[in-house]
Structure 1
Amino acid sequence: MEENRPRIVRMLDKLRENIEHLFTKFVDEGKATVRLKEPPVDICLSKANPGNLKTFLSAVRLAHKGCDINTPLSTLTPVKTSEFEKYKTKMVITSKKDYPLSKNFPYSLEHLQASYCSLARVDMRMLCLKNLTKLDLSHNSIKKLPATIGDLTHLQELNLNDNQLETFSVPLCESTLQKSLQSLDLSKNKIKALPVQFCRFQELTNLNLNDNELRHLPFKIGQLTNLRFLSAARNKLRNLPCEFKMLSLEYLDLFGNTFEKPEVLPIIKLQVPLTLLESCGQAMLSYRIPYGRDIIPYHLCQDLDTAKTCVCGRFCLQSFIQGMTTMNLHSVAHTVVSVDNVGRTEAPVISYFCSLTCFVKSSDTLN
């Protein structure tokens, strides 16, 4: 460092009356910004030793004022591996023997992969990594997800391929992941159903549900307005929910499901006249009146959360006719994988009707 001192001094001389502002609020974290007048640029400093950074900034201030620089500049020393680890942003672990047991993960991690590590549960140390945007726990033996994964507020990609999951919890669906999660891989698990609250992942664009035991998709799936890639191949789906028609996909794969021709007779649950509860529920949903467990009883929230949508656009809670129609999957996706080896791209869809009038109008499309 000492042999480079003349060059550093010449560099600092060029800062004379040329500093617009010094941003030092986070200097204790090894971060600072020097804003120059000419050229008008910001010089961002990060991952520095706080003590050395303070010394350097003191020299910069003196240079700006035109004072002599007598501040001793530290000599260069090799960075320790432990110091470097603190600032790692990506870690990939692909074997059990490499999995860290005696030390924590670097808090600066943004991408963590821990595959083929025989994990039976999510390591709670991972949930302290607040900068994570991508978490890959594929090829393990995880049976349950902690709701605290939802505390990873910046998480955009979550890969849980090839585990032992049987459920996806409601609290996880109601976490801050609603606003951050963009890609979710749940393929090769044992999931039988997804809660209706699953459709609150408003930013989700890529969803892989291949090779599970799903008998139906969440019937509010139409609320996933940003979804573009959907795979649910090799499950046990018998039909699709009515709101599936509202999707706008680029890619759809439903191959290998047990789609069956439904019964001809519809299920009739019409109530005439409508109950007060039904009328109030329809009005709340139609006018988008906010509701929650702190406002109305929990069972009423459930009724509103699971309300059906008639083909005419009106809502149904307990009063409706349920029928079955067939849709061509190309109507919701640009690229469609056929549902069987014959090459069919049609699938049965559950439809709801708020009145006999709506049912009759649509009777020509019913099976």
Structure 2
Amino acid sequence: MRLPCEVEVLSRHLPVLGLKSRGKGVRAVVSLCQAPRAEPGGRACLLVSTMKDKRGTRYELKENIEQLFNKFVDEGKATVRLKEPAVDICLSKANPGNLKSLLSAVRMAHRGCDVNIPLSTLTPAKTSEFENLKTKMVITSQKDYPLSKSFPCSLEHLQVSHCRLARVDMRMLCLKNLRKLDLSHNCIKRLPATIGDLTHLQELNLSDNHLESFSVSLCQSTLQKSLQSLDLSKNKLRALPVQFCQFRELMNLTLSDNELIQLPFKIGQLKNLRFLAAARNKLTKLPCEFKMLSLEYLDLFGNIFEKPEVLPIVKLQVPLTLLEFSARAVLSHRISYGPHIIPFHLCQDLDTAKTCVCGRFCLDSFIQGTATINLHSVAHTVVLVDNVDRMEAPIIAYFCSLTCYVNSSDMLK
């Protein structure tokens, strides 16, 4: 059995000598081999081969393993601690399934049992075997797109552009080490929710495709904790779900050249957002929570922003309904809620609650007006909204009561 991965061999004598390891693995092929002049039943050893040393270094296994560390085997990581020599063989970026098989066989070899997988011969590794350790692959034409072979499982950066893909290849979604995925300049119409299974994905580029929607399930995936850069420009998006703002780690967001009529309602929850481009859409107003952003760069050029409305929309309820009163209390006191506690539709109501200019919340009882916001109040660098040097845009404002509306009437125009 031969396993492509990254390996770092650490001597446990280094700390005693006051030395430190390099702290970085190298591309290698780890093999479970038949030792020469083996006894009947087979005596297995571990062979670690690298590009510089293709013949490899051999390590005996029988009664020679002090400990196996496999807590993170599902992430392709494990460590084999040997008694002699006193080293730790640290494996990473391996195929989780193959790594589990290797560790199981290593454990059996340590006990002197017959290994239940075929053993390799002690032959030097081939250069082609190290191809499976590539971390970056760029494909920019249909003729270069792999149809008969899979993508290297060690990929961290994959770009597939100008290949006329109609959907996301499911083989890409098996690349658990992927950090950057570029599928720009294709014909993708829908995104599979399983993109959310790429737990380390930090950058996703989907510009110049045919996307018409962005699924709620993708917004609620593990990408909430990893995604930092998202490019959805040059698509056919008309709206984004309110759950989109659960991408709390997002720093760069590009939405230019779509058909958006509004930005996500809770956009103010994107506390880490620093770059926002939504030029050439169909935006007429900005959402109320837009003013909560703290950006370095903002581009809203080419939208059809309307003049602030003179008359407000009044939806006040006197007295407040029990639902309204309860919702305001839950949100004001930051009481946790979820579909396991209250009905799902109530969770949705709470998720889409409006924020009054006074900081309190309102559900169905409010006054809606339109104010004007100077975009420099939320961004250091602002691209002009239009060709007449305008730096202002209309923003929706909500008021939880008549008192708030009267006290804040000077902000409305």
Calculate the TM-score normalised by the size of structure 1.
0.86
Q: Which of 49, 74, 77 does residue 30 from structure 2 map onto?
A: 49
Give 1:56 deviation, angstroms. 3.3
Equivalent residue number for residue 158 of structure 1: 204
1:42–1:277: structure 2 CA closer, same or farther, 3 Å change rule? same
Secondary structure of the residue aligned to 2:133 is coil
Equivalent residue number for residue 115 of structure 2: none
Q: Which of 19, 25, 33 does residue 40 from structure 1 map onto?
A: 19
Query: Over aligned residue pairs, what C-alpha RMSD do you find?
Result: 2.3
Give me the identity figure in percent: 71
Deviation string 1:286-306 (CA, Å, 9 cap, x unpaired) is 111111122211211111011
Q: Which of 79, 99, 104 does residue 126 from structure 2 map onto?
A: 79
Deviation string 1:299-338 (CA, Å, 9 cap, x unpaired) is 1111101100000000000000000000100000000001
Distance in structure 2 (CA, Å) of the matches to 1:121 and 1:221 = 28
Give 1:263 deviation, angstroms. 2.5
Is residue 214 of structure 2 the alignment partner of residue 168 of structure 1?
Answer: yes
Note if contact 2:4-2:133 (Cα within 8 Å) is conserved in structure 1: no
Structure 1 window deviating more from structure 2 (357-366 vs 110-119): it is 357-366
Give 1:361 deviation, angstroms. 1.0
Note if contact 1:242-1:352 (Cα within 8 Å) is conserved in structure 2: yes
Give 1:354 deviation, angstroms. 0.3
Which residue identity does 1:56 align to in structure 2?
Answer: R
1:285–1:61: structure 2 CA closer, same or farther, 3 Å change rule? closer
Count of paired positions: 332
Q: How does 1:5-44 map to 2 (within 5 A)?
A: 32-35=9-12, 36=14, 37-42=16-21
Secondary structure of the residue aligned to 1:322 is strand
- Compare the two structures and name the one with the higher helix fraction: 1
Note if contact 1:320-1:354 (Cα within 8 Å) is conserved in structure 2: yes
1:310–1:61: structure 2 CA closer, same or farther, 3 Å change rule? closer
Calculate the TM-score normalised by the size of structure 2.
0.76
Q: How does 1:223-262 map to 2 (within 5 A)?
A: 223-262=269-308
Secondary structure of the residue aligned to 1:86 is helix
Task: Structure 2: state its 5+ residue gaps.
Answer: 32-45, 49-55, 62-81, 87-120
Give 1:34 deviation, angstroms. 2.0
Q: Which of 345, 352, 360 does residue 398 from structure 2 map onto?
A: 352
Q: How does 1:177-326 map to 2 (within 5 A)?
A: 177-326=223-372
1:58–1:155: structure 2 CA closer, same or farther, 3 Å change rule? same
Equivalent residue number for residue 177 of structure 2: 131
Note if contact 2:270-2:293 (Cα within 8 Å) is conserved in structure 1: yes
Give 1:268 deviation, angstroms. 0.3
1:62–1:182: structure 2 CA closer, same or farther, 3 Å change rule? closer
Note if contact 2:367-2:399 (Cα within 8 Å) is conserved in structure 1: yes
1:149–1:196: structure 2 CA closer, same or farther, 3 Å change rule? same
- Compare the two structures and name the one with the higher strand fraction: 2
Which residue identity does 2:58 align to in structure 1?
Answer: F
Equivalent residue number for residue 113 of structure 1: 159
Secondary structure of the residue aligned to 1:148 is helix
